[in-house]
Chain A
Amino acid sequence: MWNLLQIELFKISKRPRTYIAFAAIAAIVMIFQFAFKADGESYMNLMMQNIQDNFELDKSKAINGYFMCYIILNTLLIQVPILIALIAGDAISGEANMGTLRLLLTKPISRTQLLLVKFFASFIFTVVLLIWMAIIALFLSMAIFGVDDMLIFRAKGEESQILQITKDDILWRYFAAFGYAAIALTVIAALSILLSVFAENSIGPIVATVCIVIFFTIVSNLNMPIIDKNVKPYLFTSYLVGWKGFFYIGINDEGQPIKGSIENWGSIRKSLGILLAHIALFLGIAIAAFRKKDILS
């Protein structure tokens, strides 16, 4: 299995398409960093237009490396699934399209092994991509903008909330958030691999994954009681942004933030459980289908 995984990672590392994701993330992050360095105050004014009359804020301090990373993650973690689908959606269908699938399967390896290895390789790609994001979105931002306390703007029901987290209480939250994001994005990888099993070319599963994510995300963002209750709990996209929970700091009775706390651990644990269940479900169906599939490519 380890031998097979090494081979799979070698193949991924040799494909030019792999590096598109890294280049795309670097480009987007750097545009953000440049824009905020040049005119970050306009963004802060926009964010605080409703509350700046009764809230004093040193905007130059508010725009710091931690805040920048939060803004970037908020934007990128919706786009990154597309980059994951580029690799995972190609896992089986790409081999079928190239004609190498039939050669692979005439070797003494089981189909379950091959599919699991494809999944683990996609997982490793996801983790490496997130480490890359951490390096340029977090550490590079910290180097460019410095570090300070972080302000989080949160919409809670019909209210807007500003949470302040002290600078010595932030870094661990980012590590936890990236860990959560790795699980969330692995759901996308598992979905892409599942779709990949049924296709003979890469485009189909990649486009299908992106369409499903976009459609489910739109539904997840609809604010209608009937959808909130009956649909959203069953959509994996409802849990993709659960990483934000690590930044929702607990508040004491005096309304002061409690250092090192998280407002709703239970919700994060539940979201993680649902995401892991989705991974198991997608992977289980993929293995069952792949084992039965006639290889005609």
Chain B
Amino acid sequence: MNTILEIKHLSKKFKDLTAVDDLSFSVNSGDVYGFLGQNGAGKSTTIRMMLTLIEPTAGEINIFGMSLSKNRHEILSKIGAVIERPDLYKYLTAYENLKLFAKLSNINVTHKLLMDQLDMVGLADRSESKVKTYSQGMKQRLGIGIALVHNPDLIILDEPTNGLDPQGIADIRNLILKLSNEMGKTVIVSSHLLSEIELIANRMIIIHKGKKIVEGFVNELLDPSKTLVELETTDNIFATSVLKKSVYASMIVDVNEKIRLTINKHEISTLIQFMVESKIQIIEVKPRHSLEDYFLNLTKPE
């Protein structure tokens, strides 16, 4: 698998607020990568940094094997994005909006290309209507049409189902699956809904307060027989090195202030015994029931 996107130790501070804190993850070619976190977790800030809208305070972003800061023009010509709301020129028609942004992507713009694109997102019959007459769902579909018009290799969709009715959500979900399964595109989708990511993504990351909580394959992370366990020890570096050399290595999902593992419930006691025998001084072992419960707990209003 080629790594399409690699983020290393990315941080963004706005005066006293740390929106993104030492975030690292990677996306492989062909992934539908779920970017999950509650509102204000730092998803949009991270995505905006990936699109050069926001300057990182620290860290590195590499896309298509190139440094984003040094190859902005080349990288952006291969990315299509919809960021939060699909805001477009309301006084122009859908066709004019699409044509305008297609021209900005430096491609050969033909009437056929534009109509095919509008047809793909189901707006061909409303191509001459001004965008101000469109519903939210139609605007979202047009936004995706604009993101795809130059046939990008990487598609970034920031909360694409926000404000949509159930049919609109299903349409967008089907479109993302089509992009991945039939067209082989790499898609990064951010959402605050685990259920949404679960349906479309093969890999995902959960962030909270700008920090990574877990990253991995969706089917493994959401396996109902597994429990997420948080470990706190007197020396997490030592504990991590010991665990990485043991049978528990593949179960580690994140190492940060705490060590997180997804593990079968009945194996927790064996894990504790192993740690004691390995001279790891345990401060706390906290089972989180399941990743879903854990995420719901994070997003629960305080």
Residues of A within 8 A of B (CB): 3-4, 7, 10-11, 14-16, 98-100, 102-110, 292, 294-296
Q: Is there a chain A Cβ closer than 8 Å to B90's Cβ?
A: yes
Interface residues of B in 60-87 (CB under 8 A from A): 72-74, 76-77, 79, 81, 83-85, 87
Which residues does chain A contribute within 8 Å of B207, judged by CB atoms? Answer: none
With contacts A106-B51, A108-B73, A108-B105 taken as known, whether A100 is within 8 angstroms of B87 at the C-beta atoms is yes
Contact A100 B76 (CB under 8 A): no
Cα–Cα, bound, A98→B88 (Å)? 7
Which residues does chain A contribute within 8 Å of B106, judged by CB atoms? Answer: 108
Which residues does chain B contribute within 8 Å of A7, judged by CB atoms? Answer: 100, 103-104
Secondary structure of the A contact surface, majority rule: helix
Cα–Cα, bound, A99→B96 (Å)? 17
Which residues does chain A contribute within 8 Å of B81, judged by CB atoms? Answer: 103, 106
Which residues does chain A contribute within 8 Å of B52, judged by CB atoms? Answer: 105-106
11 contacts between A and B (CB under 8 A): A4-B104, A7-B104, A10-B100, A16-B91, A99-B84, A102-B51, A106-B76, A107-B104, A294-B14, A295-B53, A296-B48
Question: For residue A96, which residue of chain B has the nearest CB?
Answer: B87
A-B contact count (CB 8 A): 75
Contact B91 A14 (CB under 8 A): yes
Q: Pick from B14, B74, B79, B101 the residue with the most CB of A within 10 Å.
A: B101
Residues of B within 8 A of A (CB): 14, 48, 51-55, 72-74, 76-77, 79, 81, 83-85, 87-92, 96, 100-101, 103-106, 143, 146
Which residues does chain A contribute within 8 Å of B105, judged by CB atoms? Answer: 107-108
Which residues does chain A contribute within 8 Å of B74, judged by CB atoms? Answer: 108
Cα–Cα, bound, A3→B109 (Å)? 12
Question: For residue A294, which residue of chain B has the nearest CB?
Answer: B54
A76 CB, nearest partner CB in chain B, Å: 28
Cα–Cα, bound, A161→B134 (Å)? 63
Contact B48 A102 (CB under 8 A): yes
Cα–Cα, bound, A295→B53 (Å)? 5
Which residues does chain B contribute within 8 Å of A106, judged by CB atoms? Answer: 51-53, 76, 79, 81, 83
Cα–Cα, bound, A294→B53 (Å)? 6
With contacts A4-B104, A7-B103, A106-B83 taken as known, whether A98 is within 8 angstroms of B90 at the C-beta atoms is yes
Which residues does chain A contribute within 8 Å of B88, judged by CB atoms? Answer: 98, 100, 103
Which residues does chain B contribute within 8 Å of A11, judged by CB atoms? Answer: 89, 92, 100
Contact B76 A108 (CB under 8 A): yes
